[in-house]
Structure 1
Amino acid sequence: RMTKYYVVEVEYCGPNPYDVQNVDIDRYEITTTPPRISATGDVCTYGFLGTYNNVARYALGEYDSLAAAEYSVQTESLRGHQYRRDPEEDLPPDVQAVYRLGRYAPVTDDVLGQWLENSVDISADDTDTDLVRQAGALRYELEEEGHYCVTPARMLSALETLRDKARRGIDD
């Protein structure tokens, strides 16, 4: 019997999607184990598999080769996006490949905080518009310098936190 390969989309669907612990859950897995519907245990090669702990799973097809499965992920699901592949040594035995959106891994809260404190000068007078303007450029800069990615919402939130700190400093 020839080995079959299955593509499964894993997607975070819970609260606070931009929090660092949730932002990198989304992925496409290529596995040699047929996906099963969580409610019934039935094998399902295309369709909704279920949700558990705020994570939804979808079967996206069955393929005769790893190359065909990878091609489908790269040309259909990830078409037009930058993506990265997890290192093979990090994968469970039945998982052949994992693809995630984005060129780089998400930045941790600590690294983002340190980087911003060294990279920007946020004052108590900065308006929301000022912060929005800075957020885009800073996201690009962080990616180029630090090889991390950050969502627009998360970057803006971090800048607002710095502005709030500056405002509290004035009030004290």
Structure 2
Amino acid sequence: MKYYIVEKHYSGSNPRDVKHIDFNRFEVTTKPPRDKEKRICVKGWLGTVDEVDRYAHGVYDSLAAAQHYIQTRLLTWGFRRDPDDDLPPDVLAVYRPGRYPPITDDALIQWLEYRIEVSADDDDKTLERQADTMIYELQQEGRRSYRSQMRDALEFLRDYAREERDD
């Protein structure tokens, strides 16, 4: 049996939308990848379909060899392996970039509401300091937020506090 690595990368609009936020991945599959013309292609660009770029990263003689290649050559800066439960039969493993799965905007706001008091009087410097602290705390719980996303969430909570104060 041969094993193939296929990279799937969302390249469309709204990459921070909930359905796209954690889309990019590397799949180890037993089915040879095909390009847009349906030809088997084991290295290189396979095409873009529905705003998803696909790339082939080789053929391997064992699952261990394919996984080793992903871990050492493709995701050397951090990765995580997804659970195997909802994979198609030909996909044996899915690896995603980053040690921590990202959090959606709505989930981040809810998470912050239970962990920090954002005041209507907080200035931008205060929010900046809080953002750094909260990013660290979120990572301690195994999740990831971008700095801009954290700042936006804190600003949202500050604006909400201001509306509550003014009512």
Superposition TM-score, scaled by structure 2 size: 0.89
Tell me, yes or no, if the aligned pair for 1:49 and 1:58 is still in contact at 8 Å: yes
Distance (whole Å) between structure 2 residues aligned to residue 128 and residue 166 of structure 1: 14
Q: Cα deviations across residues 24-72 of structure 1 (Å, max 9, x unaligned)?
A: 101110111111112x111111111112222211111111111111111
Distance (whole Å) between structure 2 residues aligned to residue 44 and residue 85 of structure 1: 25
> Aligned ranges for residues 77-156 of structure 1 at < 5 Å?
77-81=74-78, 83-144=79-140, 146-156=141-151
Deviates more, 1:154-163 or 1:109-118: 109-118
Deviates more, 1:26-35 or 1:124-133: 124-133
Tell me, yes or no, if the aligned pair for 1:18 and 1:153 is still in contact at 8 Å: no
Distance (whole Å) between structure 1 residues aligned to residue 3 and residue 134 of structure 2: 40
* Counterpart AA for 2:65: A
Structure 2: 5+ residue stretches without partners:
none
Per the alignment, residue 29 of structure 2 pairs with 31
CA shift for structure 1 position 91: 1.4
Q: Give the secondary structure class of the aligned counterpart of 2:145.
A: coil
Q: Aligned pair in 2 of structure 1 residues 17, 153: CA closer, same or farther (>3 Å)?
A: farther
Distance (whole Å) between structure 2 residues aligned to residue 135 and residue 106 of structure 1: 15
Does 2:17 match 1:19? yes
Count of residue correspondences: 167
Tell me, yes or no, if the aligned pair for 1:7 and 1:62 is still in contact at 8 Å: yes
Root mean square deviation, CA, Å:
1.8
CA shift for structure 1 position 163: 1.6
* Counterpart AA for 2:96: R
Q: Aligned pair in 2 of structure 1 residues 6, 117: CA closer, same or farther (>3 Å)?
A: same
Per the alignment, residue 56 of structure 1 pairs with 53
Per the alignment, residue 68 of structure 1 pairs with 65
Per the alignment, residue 2 of structure 2 pairs with 4
Distance (whole Å) between structure 2 residues aligned to residue 123 and residue 47 of structure 1: 51
Q: Aligned pair in 2 of structure 1 residues 49, 103: CA closer, same or farther (>3 Å)?
A: same
* Counterpart AA for 1:148: R
State, as a whole percentage, how many aligned pairs show the same letter: 53
* Counterpart AA for 1:87: P
Q: Give the secondary structure class of the aligned counterpart of 1:71.
A: helix
